[in-house]
Amino acid sequence: MPQARPPQRKATSGSTRKGDIIQIRASAETKVLLHQAAVLRGQKLSEFVLESARKQAEETLLDQRVFFLEPEAHEDFLTMLDAPALPSDTARERLNRRAHWDR
């Protein structure tokens, strides 16, 4: 008689549960490289790989953010991007004051 599987729980953001498993295959050279980097960071190999993969995933997702603008707003946005930035009064002060080593 087949055994019933326990119900799967949904992952929540910020969850500290480490029950899910990710399995990957890597060449011996890649494993050595990852292990060396993990040792330098004072981490276990699995901690290093998971942290590195998570950072890369977050960066990838942040790079793919999309927003939509009406045509006129889009043109205004492009104009702002193409326009040179005007320095603030604070920036002007800092650029015009004497360097610490010249005082």
Per residue in 14-44, pLDDT tens?
556 678 899 999 999 999 999 999 999 999 9
pLDDT surpasses 80 at 1: no
Number of H helices, E strands in the chain: 4, 0
Q: Which residue has the tokens 């993969």?
A: 53
Q: Specify the range with the lowest mean pLDDT, choosing from 28-37, 70-79, 91-100.
A: 91-100
Indicate the SS3 state at residue 80.
helix
The larger pLDDT score, comparing residue 40 to residue 96, is at: 40
The larger pLDDT score, comparing residue 40 to residue 86, is at: 40
**Nearest of 77, 79, 57 to residue 68 by alpha carbon:** 77
Q: Say how far apart CA 79 and CA 73 lie, in whole Å.
A: 10
The pTM of the whole model exceeds 0.85: no
Q: Say how far apart CA 63 and CA 78 lie, in whole Å.
A: 18
pLDDT surpasses 90 at 68: no
